[in-house]
């Protein structure tokens, strides 16, 4: 890259960074909001579009979901994404600092960090998840499948972020085609309650309620578990088929004394191909009877997971 190109890139970064900071200061809900040109440019939006504010809001939420929780909340709250935090820039900062239990100086450091990281995500084109008519996205999931007992157990901890005010319920979908037991032993452990359970030919829809309504940008973590009657009802594959964007996930498999001959991670394949030998996998090392795989930026419509062979 020559000196002229470097200077142009630095100018673009600086302009976009300042534009994000200005929008944060002006407030996303401000009826007189003038969206800075660098933001419109990077998102390919027409200044006169009646949907420009909506598209900018979606892009910022999508990028913010990838940030560390305190940094994300500081930016979104101070930018007015939460309907309970309004007023002038200073009033929003004061209110956000109170809600997040942090000093103003610390809050401003988080806002500055968020603006830097969102700038680079936008310039990299990492603002594209489809957020239309979606109430939430998953920022992180930790799933553990314990195969050491006669009755395998799944334990899941999940953190979701609201994309609309008043979000307090979601559906989980489980696919267990080999399970013949008409009753699914599904338990809400912490941070949620079971509101409904429906079986439909090998798949289950579980309705969960959160203990309170979340506003835009707020996050909540909950834990659930599933206990399976035996090993025969579980195919040698375990994974996700996200219906909304899932930014980070970790799968742990805990094996008994008998170890599999092969463990592979599967990235971004069609759900029907998870068990197919044509779906390429990457070997996962088993250490101390445990196999671990981490996934990032999982998109709706694709499957991700671990499969094994005895």
Given a contact cutoff of 8 angstroms between Cβ atoms, the answer to whether 217 and 79 are in contact is: no
Q: What is the pLDDT of residue 240?
A: 87
Higher pLDDT, 118 or 3: 118
Q: What is the pLDDT of residue 277?
A: 67
- Position 5 pLDDT exceeds 60: no
Query: How much of the chain exceeds pLDDT 90, in percent?
Result: 38
How crowded is the C-beta side of 222, counted as CA atoms within 13 Å? 23
Mean pLDDT for 135-143 is 89
Lowest mean pLDDT segment, chosen from 29-43, 98-112, 125-139, 243-257: 125-139
- Position 18 pLDDT exceeds 80: yes
| CA distance linking residue 226 with residue 181, whole number of Å | 13
- Position 106 pLDDT exceeds 90: yes
Q: How confident is the model at residue 213 (pLDDT cuts 50, 70, 90)?
A: very high
| CA distance linking residue 294 with residue 251, whole number of Å | 6
- Position 3 pLDDT exceeds 60: no
Report pTM. 0.74
How crowded is the C-beta side of 98, counted as CA atoms within 13 Å? 8
- One-character DSSP codes across 67-135: S-HHHHHHHHHHTT-STTS-SSHHHHHHHHHHHHT--HHHHHHHHHHHHHHHHHHHHTT------TT--
pLDDT tens, position by position, 238-297? 888 887 778 889 999 999 878 888 899 988 887 777 767 677 788 888 898 999 999 987
Query: How much of the chain exceeds pLDDT 70, in percent?
Result: 93
pLDDT tens, position by position, 216-233? 878 899 999 999 988 888
Mean pLDDT for 65-92 is 87
Highest mean pLDDT among 158-162, 181-185, 187-191 belongs to 187-191
How crowded is the C-beta side of 54, counted as CA atoms within 13 Å? 9
- Position 8 pLDDT exceeds 50: no
Higher pLDDT, 90 or 301: 90
For the chain, give the mean pLDDT: 86
Q: What is the pLDDT of residue 191?
A: 96
Higher pLDDT, 133 or 298: 298
Q: What is the pLDDT of residue 155?
A: 96
| 3-class secondary-structure state, position 241 | coil
The C-alpha angle 192, 195, 198, rounded to 5 degrees, equals 125
């Amino acid at each position: 890259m020559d000196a002229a190109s470097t200077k142009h890139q630095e100018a673009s970064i600086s302009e976009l960074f300042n534009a994000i900071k200005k929008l944060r200061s002006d407030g996303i809900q401000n009826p007189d909001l003038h969206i800075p040109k660098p933001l419109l440019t990077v998102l390919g939006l027409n200044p006169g579009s009646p949907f420009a504010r909506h598209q900018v809001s979606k892009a910022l939420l999508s990028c913010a979901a990838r940030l560390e929780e305190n940094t994300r909340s500081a930016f979104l709250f101070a930018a007015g994404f939460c309907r309970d935090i309004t007023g002038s820039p200073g009033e929003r900062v004061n209110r956000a600092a109170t809600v997040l239990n942090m000093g103003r100086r610390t809050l401003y450091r988080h806002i500055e960090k968020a603006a830097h990281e969102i700038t680079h995500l936008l310039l990299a084109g990492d603002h594209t998840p489809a957020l239309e008519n979606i109430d939430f996205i998953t920022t992180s999931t930790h799933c553990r499948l314990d195969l050491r007992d006669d009755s395998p157990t799944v334990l899941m901890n999940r953190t979701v972020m609201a994309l609309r005010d008043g979000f307090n319920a979601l559906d989980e979908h489980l696919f267990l085609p080999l399970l013949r037991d008409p009753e699914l032993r599904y338990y809400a452990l912490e941070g949620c309650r079971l509101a409904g359970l429906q079986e439909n030919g090998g798949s289950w829809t579980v309705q969960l309620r959160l203990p309170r309504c979340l506003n835009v940008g707020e996050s909540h973590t909950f834990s659930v578990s599933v206990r399976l009657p035996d090993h025969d009802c579980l195919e040698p594959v375990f994974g996700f088929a996200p219906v909304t964007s899932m930014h980070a996930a970790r799968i742990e498999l805990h094996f008994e004394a008998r170890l599999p001959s092969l463990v592979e991670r599967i990235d971004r394949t069609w759900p029907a191909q998870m068990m197919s030998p044509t779906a390429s996998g990457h070997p996962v090392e088993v250490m101390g009877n445990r196999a671990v795989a981490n996934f990032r930026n999982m998109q709706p419509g694709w499957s991700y997971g671990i499969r094994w062979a005895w």
